């Protein structure tokens, strides 16, 4: 394992074999470049910020290797970075044990906390009294069964049996059969990815005060321009125990869409504490839906109309 | 009385002695220019539209000589025109009769309908059974007492006794002691009057449909930018019996104020059926109040921020 | 003509032959009862308030005999009264003159101000320089042609030639071929007319202050319950020159509809200065449209749910 | 350690010595009753639901022993339960190691994932390249230093040195000096705790659809009644990958406050998928702030007013 990926390489939460590596494999530009496994999200982002890597792949939602809050808080703390791509990795879990162990004898389960959370329904149903030992990754959970005898079984991805001599005690543990983890590619580049018609825009916004209706006023900036949110995640602001929040927001559309740009203008006026995280193609390729009245042409026509008034031209209508 | 005022003259609802003439006397640019009394608001606006006058003074609210609805509908029907100034004329009424007539013998009162309406409280209290004969102006109401014997008394401005041999039977008939009529100066010029900090902007907007919440969505365009309305007047749209309305709206501020310009952009996108009537100084000179968060600088800063994002500049924060 | 209609009679703006009388003919309960023509809306309402009549029919919108503002202000000033029915009378106008007069020689037109307003387009097109002498009613306009020689022609309803020896110079003067005047029946009774499914509810509301967003907050009371407005008419509040307004509002639905009742509750909390004018069947019989999510059952279910919580019952779901 | 706490006992996330136990010590009713340490939040709630305990104390926000999302999802999955109290435990962290180890030699840190997250700033600053081994609790993190030699140091509460022979390498690791963990007491009882004036109400609401403005419409239910939110936490709905969310909401006030009850009514109508989690005293005892116009009396007066209209009483005003 090399120490840094170099200025054209990519950092990701390792070790090799994790879901994050599966996401990195989807990044076309990363093919043939050095990949650098790191220990935590902060380290991955620092690699990019300080020029040791050109990009980092990190889990952002419903994650297996670290979860949304660590990533979101890390992004809020490092505003120079930009999201330039999104990737989905399907989530599947099996329960594995060393040969000879049977399901009725499993008392202690080793699992990454997020994997454990995603299998909670199955565990409550099939192993209601089991205790949990958390591991740092899905790979580490399986490896722990060889390191000591504390855990009886581990939760891991199906491919784990390619690498370890383990029996599968149960399949399809995940509570949500369509589950996937969402990853983003983060870089220093402030060049905007091209608009594809199936884009997302991510921002972090801090409410200016804690008045009733303050969040409402913020959301009106979107609804009044017909901009849909696909993510609204509140995060407490440190030092303001339980009183104030920032919001991580994913919008449908690209900042090159007039309605998104205008919504961002409104948002910036509403709260100067806004961080633009990027506009980038959606992993699912689903085109953004919006009503004709929020089309680019409507914005352009209105600007032309106002320009006519301001310049003193006689009105056409 | 000349037939037209000429290309540098002013049209107003006559005859000489009306409240509209009092408003025209306040128009500095009209001093020394020909004044052209006309019979109705439509004629006054047609004079301007067709170049027979450079301006017209017409009553727009709480009016004595014709009232808001005729003016508002006439402005909606002639979108090439612009309001360039606003003037207030205080309203005072007396009840006059020919010498010898006493108040207890008054059965029929001659009055312009709007003057009559503004004295309704006094009339219901003091002359509850009186009938009303409407006249075309306050001057005509007083004159009618000499023309025939139908009416016993007339409602008129206090100065009427300078011109006619009439006794004042009662003073201060108006229900509202602070009442005034609001007049506007209308011209063809599309040059915008300078911003003074105490301005109004007038528009006519047609709602795009009659959904619940449609008006609400329109008003959010103002509230979200902290723009106050000083007038919201609904007018039925002809041909849509009782179903659809247009709105005549006065906003606090000038279209050169960023928040007003941005609200107009939003309004135009919301409803392409918008007519800009003008930005002009308020007659009462009262400076526009607004919160610091809606200042021009906030709009400019947000545009700079967005421009940085769109151009791919590294973020400053 | 009797002086009062008596406790079981009806007051209306006379004389016989006016459009208001045509509306009164539609009131089933008034058949065979005494009818009392009065001189103005205030007198009609006073008759009801003081027990001289059981009901009064007055024009409330797009009116011929007196117009919306006089009626709306009179209703606001007399809160003990209730609207119990709505009636529509189609509007048609002809231009009449004494035999021998031709259209090209018409200089002065006698007309009730509202009739004049409704024919403004025709007059500007066909008689652009004509002057206007206002009359107190359409009947009086025609009658004036015999009283003196001032006016050359009069605007009147088509039936006028049954009563007067006049020639019709032009037909269909009204700018809106589908125009109608809307009348209401006003009584002292506070018993609510039955809900028919095609009802209206009328209220007068004063905004609590003149903040930006104040009107918006009021309208949210309707939109949040899916209640549509069919009329929103602003009226200045006397003594607050051009600064504050009250609003006359017609809502789709009956106060016995849960969503309307709940909206009125919200309105009352928002502004204690609210006057309930009544719930009554629509003249056009058009059933109220609303989304299923605003049905009575949804309100009842929610109350049952809350009652369960407040009473400490175990939750069903 | 007993197997169950019994019908009058309390379940909590063990082992003894955790922050959850510190919260349970604040529960007055739990003094002298059996306490039952369990392995996870689901087990704690199942104990209550199935009658094995009378109450469970679980971390709900900014948690050390398990975190908000597991708790929130568990509460959403078990709607028969109620929150009846809230407790705060201050958060403090030290870095501990076995005697002889110095800070510059620390490469691998054992820590509960949430503790690790709360110390992220300190770790990035002081130990930027350190790897993380997660443990199931803060107590287990410290204990692991004796079990094997993998980790060099552990993050733990300051009191840990009472129980283990460990050196403190650094103090005050937490990024937020005022940090605290918020715990709730959960029971089966549907009797509402008394209103104290310093209360919270918790609900879980699922948006009815994913239209733009859908969340906005939900939040209007609060703002229109002047009800402030102190928590708005979105949680993905399983099976709807990244498309739909439910929201966990804490409101200022008690369901016995009229404005809160009315907001819940509106919420229930808006989305039948609402779970009432309880009204209970705030841990910080801070009285709820609200404007006079949202006082109980305003709601009661409005209901009286509407009742008068519905019953046909003559209006008082």
Tell me which residue in B124, B180, B216 faces C223 most closely, judged by beta carbons: B216
Comparing alpha-carbon positions, the chain D residue that sits nearest to C225 is D266
Contacts of B among chains (3+ CB pairs under 8 A)? A, C
Record: contact A215-D219, CB cut-off 8 A:
yes
Record: contact B179-C238, CB cut-off 8 A:
yes
The vertex-C94 CA angle with C88 and C99, nearest 5°, equals 145
pTM: 0.81
User: Strands A10-13 and A55-61, how do they pair?
Assistant: parallel
Output the pLDDT for position B11. Answer: 95
Record: contact A190-B298, CB cut-off 8 A:
no
What is the per-residue burial (b if ≥16 Cβ within 10 Å, else e) of C69-89?
Answer: bbbbbbbbbeeebbbbbbbbb
Output the pLDDT for position C68. Answer: 64
Residue D244 in contact with residue D207, Cβ under 8 Å? Answer: yes
- Nearest-Cα distance to chain D for C316, in Å, is 8
CA atoms within 13 A on the CB side of A256: 14
Residues of B within 8 A of C179 (CB-CB) are 238, 241
Record: contact A241-D124, CB cut-off 8 A:
no
Comparing alpha-carbon positions, the chain B residue that sits nearest to A296 is B269
Around Cβ B181, how many Cβ atoms within 10 Å?
25
Around Cβ D12, how many Cβ atoms within 10 Å?
32
Compute CA distances C273 → C81, D80, D296, whole Å: 16, 43, 18
Record: contact D113-A135, CB cut-off 8 A:
no
Averages of pLDDT over each 10 residues, chain B, 317 residues? 69 79 93 89 89 93 58 80 93 92 93 81 90 76 81 88 88 82 90 95 85 78 89 69 74 96 94 91 93 93 93 67
User: Strands B108-111 and B153-156, how do they pair?
Assistant: parallel
Q: Is the dihedral of CA A131, A136, A137, A142 positive or negative?
A: negative
- Nearest-Cα distance to chain B for C226, in Å, is 6
Residues with Cβ within 8 Å of C162's Cβ and at least 6 positions away in sequence, in order, are none
- Reading the block at residue D148, the tokens are 């094997």
Residues with Cβ within 8 Å of D31's Cβ and at least 6 positions away in sequence, in order, are none
Compute CA distances D281 → D61, D109, D251, D255, whole Å: 16, 38, 12, 12
DSSP 8-state secondary structure symbol assigned to residue C217: H
Q: Token match 């839906």: residue?
A: A289
**A87 has pLDDT over 90:** yes
- Nearest-Cα distance to chain B for C310, in Å, is 32
Residues with Cβ within 8 Å of B180's Cβ and at least 6 positions away in sequence, in order, are B62, B88, B89, B90, B91, C241, C242
Output the pLDDT for position D1. Answer: 40
- Reading the block at residue A124, the tokens are 């409550």
**In what side-by-side order are the strands of the sheet with D167-171?**
D131-134, D108-111, D153-156, D94-97, D167-171
How long is chain D? 317
Closest CA to B22 of B59, B61, B47: B59
- Reading the block at residue D158, the tokens are 């300051």
Q: Token match 């004494």: residue?
A: C98
How long is chain C? 317
Residues of C within 8 A of D293 (CB-CB) are 208, 269-270
Burial class of D317 by CB neighbour count within 10 A (0 to 12, 13 to 18, 19+): exposed
pLDDT tens by residue, A98-136: 999 999 999 999 988 778 878 988 998 999 888 888 776
Tell me which residue in A265, A293, A305 faces B302 most closely, judged by beta carbons: A265
Tell me which residue in C275, C312, C315 faces D80 most closely, judged by beta carbons: C315
**A317 has pLDDT over 50:** no
Output the pLDDT for position C232. Answer: 83
DSSP 8-state secondary structure symbol assigned to residue D287: P
B268 vs B246: CA distance, rounded Å: 14
- Reading the block at residue A229, the tokens are 């949110």
Record: contact A136-D136, CB cut-off 8 A:
no
Record: contact B312-A191, CB cut-off 8 A:
yes
Task: Report chain C's mean pLDDT, rounded to a whole number.
Answer: 85
**What CATH class has D192-317?**
alpha beta
Match domain B1-90+178-189 to its CATH number in 3.40.1640.10, 3.40.50.300, 2.70.98.10, 3.40.190.10: 3.40.190.10
Map out the domains of chain C as residue ranges.
1-90+180-190, 94-171, 192-317
How long is chain B? 317
Residue C155 in contact with residue C141, Cβ under 8 Å? Answer: yes
**A238 has pLDDT over 70:** no
Contacts of A among chains (3+ CB pairs under 8 A)? B, D
DSSP 8-state secondary structure symbol assigned to residue D275: E
Record: contact D73-A242, CB cut-off 8 A:
no
- Residue D94, SS3? strand
**D317 has pLDDT over 60:** no
**D63 has pLDDT over 50:** no
B155 vs B173: CA distance, rounded Å: 8
Of the listed ranges B48-57, C135-144, C158-167, D231-240, the one predicted with least confidence: D231-240
What does the pLDDT average to over A58-76? 70
Record: contact A242-D229, CB cut-off 8 A:
no
**Helical ranges in chain B per DSSP H:** 19-24, 41-49, 68-77, 113-118, 120-126, 138-147, 214-223, 258-270, 296-311
Residues of C within 8 A of B238 (CB-CB) are 175-176, 179
Of A141 and C39, the structure prediction assigns the larger pLDDT to: A141
> Cis bond leading into A91, ω under 30°?
no
Output the pLDDT for position C60. Answer: 87
Record: contact C309-D221, CB cut-off 8 A:
no
Residue A22 in contact with residue A89, Cβ under 8 Å? Answer: yes
Comparing alpha-carbon positions, the chain C residue that sits nearest to B235 is C233
Is it true that D94-171 and D192-317 share their CATH fold? no
DSSP 8-state secondary structure symbol assigned to residue C228: P
**Helical ranges in B148-292 per DSSP H:** 214-223, 258-270
Output the pLDDT for position A257. Answer: 97
Architecture field, domain A1-91+179-190: 3-Layer(aba) Sandwich (3.40)
Around Cβ C31, how many Cβ atoms within 10 Å?
8
**C140 has pLDDT over 50:** yes
Indicate the fold that domain A192-302 takes in CATH. Answer: Alpha-Beta Plaits (3.30.70)
Record: contact C236-B117, CB cut-off 8 A:
no
- Residue C160, SS3? helix
Architecture field, domain C1-90+180-190: 3-Layer(aba) Sandwich (3.40)
Question: What stretch of H or E contains D115?
Answer: helix D113-118
Burial class of A76 by CB neighbour count within 10 A (0 to 12, 13 to 18, 19+): middle
DSSP bridge partners of A111: A134
DSSP 8-state secondary structure symbol assigned to residue C131: E
Record: contact D80-C269, CB cut-off 8 A:
no
Q: Which of B240-249, C16-25, C140-149, D254-263 is most confident?
A: D254-263
Of D147 and B198, the structure prediction assigns the larger pLDDT to: B198
- Residue A231, SS3? strand
Give the gyration radius of chain B's Cα atoms.
Answer: 23
Closest CA to D304 of D264, D258, D266: D258
Contacts of C among chains (3+ CB pairs under 8 A)? B, D
Question: What stretch of H or E contains A83?
Answer: strand A82-90
- Which of D151, D213, D237 to probe by mutation at the A interface, max A CB count within 10 Å? D213
Record: contact B223-C216, CB cut-off 8 A:
yes
Burial class of A224 by CB neighbour count within 10 A (0 to 12, 13 to 18, 19+): buried
D130 vs D114: CA distance, rounded Å: 16
Question: What stretch of H or E contains B83?
Answer: strand B82-90
Of the listed ranges A29-43, A136-150, B82-96, D112-126, the one predicted with least confidence: A136-150
pLDDT tens by residue, C169-213: 999 998 877 778 889 999 998 899 999 999 999 999 988 766 667
Of D41 and C310, the structure prediction assigns the larger pLDDT to: C310
Comparing alpha-carbon positions, the chain B residue that sits nearest to A257 is B310
Of the listed ranges A26-35, C14-23, C42-51, the one predicted with least confidence: C14-23
Contacts of D among chains (3+ CB pairs under 8 A)? A, C
Output the pLDDT for position B212. Answer: 62
Tell me which residue in D255, D270, D309 faces C276 most closely, judged by beta carbons: D309
- Nearest-Cα distance to chain D for A204, in Å, is 15
Tell me which residue in D61, D177, D242 faces A61 most closely, judged by beta carbons: D242
Tell me which residue in D79, D270, D309 faces C315 most closely, judged by beta carbons: D79
Q: What is the dihedral of CA C121, C122, C128, C129, to 10 degrees?
A: -110
- Reading the block at residue C129, the tokens are 């320089």
Closest CA to B176 of D271, D184, C243: C243
**C242 has pLDDT over 60:** no
A118 vs A123: CA distance, rounded Å: 10
Closest CA to B18 of B60, B55, B65: B65
Output the pLDDT for position D57. Answer: 95
pLDDT tens by residue, D250-303: 999 999 999 999 999 999 998 878 999 999 999 999 999 998 999 999 999 999
B73 vs B204: CA distance, rounded Å: 10
**In what side-by-side order are the strands of the sheet with D180-187?**
D35-38, D10-13, D55-61, D180-187, D82-90
Residues of D within 8 A of A234 (CB-CB) are 231-234
- CATH entry 3.40.190.10 includes domain A94-171: yes
pLDDT tens by residue, A195-213: 999 999 999 998 876 666 7
Residue C48 in contact with residue C82, Cβ under 8 Å? Answer: no
Residues of D within 8 A of A149 (CB-CB) are none
Residues of A within 8 A of D177 (CB-CB) are 239
Chains A, B: CB pairs < 8 Å: 92
- Which of D69, D216, D253 to probe by mutation at the A interface, max A CB count within 10 Å? D216
Residue B108 in contact with residue C15, Cβ under 8 Å? Answer: no
Give the gyration radius of chain D's Cα atoms.
Answer: 23
Residues of B within 8 A of A79 (CB-CB) are 315, 317
Predicted ipTM > 0.90: no
Compute CA distances C230 → B216, C159, C266, C279, C288, whole Å: 14, 31, 19, 14, 11
Closest CA to B62 of B267, B223, B290, B283: B283
**What CATH class has D1-91+178-190?**
alpha beta
Comparing alpha-carbon positions, the chain D residue that sits nearest to A90 is D241
- Nearest-Cα distance to chain D for C67, in Å, is 26
Chains B, C: CB pairs < 8 Å: 143
Output the pLDDT for position D243. Answer: 60
- Nearest-Cα distance to chain B for C169, in Å, is 22
Task: Report chain D's mean pLDDT, rounded to a whole number.
Answer: 85
Q: Token match 């109705």: residue?
A: B40
- Reading the block at residue D132, the tokens are 């993380």
Tell me which residue in B70, B212, B229 faces C223 most closely, judged by beta carbons: B212
DSSP bridge partners of B234: B247
Closest CA to B248 of B277, B225, B271, B224: B277
What is the per-residue burial (b if ≥16 Cβ within 10 Å, else e) of D35-53?
Answer: bbbbbbbbbbbbbbeeebb
């Amino acid at each position: 394992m090399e120490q840094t990926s170099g200025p054209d390489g990519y950092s990701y939460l390792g070790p090799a074999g994790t879901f994050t590596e599966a996401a990195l494999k989807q990044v076309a530009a990363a093919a043939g470049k050095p990949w650098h496994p790191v220990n935590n999200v902060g380290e991955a982002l620092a690699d990019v910020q300080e020029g040791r890597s050109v990009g980092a792949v990190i889990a952002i939602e419903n994650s297996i290797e670290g979860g949304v809050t660590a990533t979101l808080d890390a992004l809020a703390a490092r505003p120079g970075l930009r999201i330039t791509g999104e990737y989905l990795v399907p989530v599947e879990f099996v329960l594995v044990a060393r040969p000879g162990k049977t399901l009725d004898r499993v008392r202690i389960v080793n699992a990454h906390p997020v994997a454990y959370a995603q299998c909670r329904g199955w565990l409550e149903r099939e192993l209601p009294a089991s205790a949990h030992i958390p591991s740092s990754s899905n790979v580490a959970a399986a490896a722990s069964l060889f390191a000591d005898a504390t855990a009886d079984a581990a939760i891991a991805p199906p491919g784990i049996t390619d690498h370890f001599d383990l029996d599968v005690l149960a399949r399809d543990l995940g509570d949500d059969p369509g589950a996937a983890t969402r990853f983003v590619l983060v870089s220093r580049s402030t060049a905007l990815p091209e608009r594809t018609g199936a884009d997302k825009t991510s921002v972090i916004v801090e409410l200016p005060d804690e008045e009733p209706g303050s969040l409402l006023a913020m959301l009106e900036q979107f609804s009044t321009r017909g901009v849909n949110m696909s993510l609204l995640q509140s995060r407490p602001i440190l030092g303001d125990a339980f009183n104030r929040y920032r919001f991580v927001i994913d919008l449908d559309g690209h900042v090159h869409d007039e309605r998104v740009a205008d919504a961002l203008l409104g948002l910036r006026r509403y709260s100067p504490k806004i961080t633009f995280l990027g506009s980038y193609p959606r992993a699912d390729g689903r085109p953004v839906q919006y009503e004709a009245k929020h089309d680019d042409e409507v914005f352009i026509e209105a600007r032309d109309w106002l320009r006519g008034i301001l310049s003193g031209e006689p009105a056409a209508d």
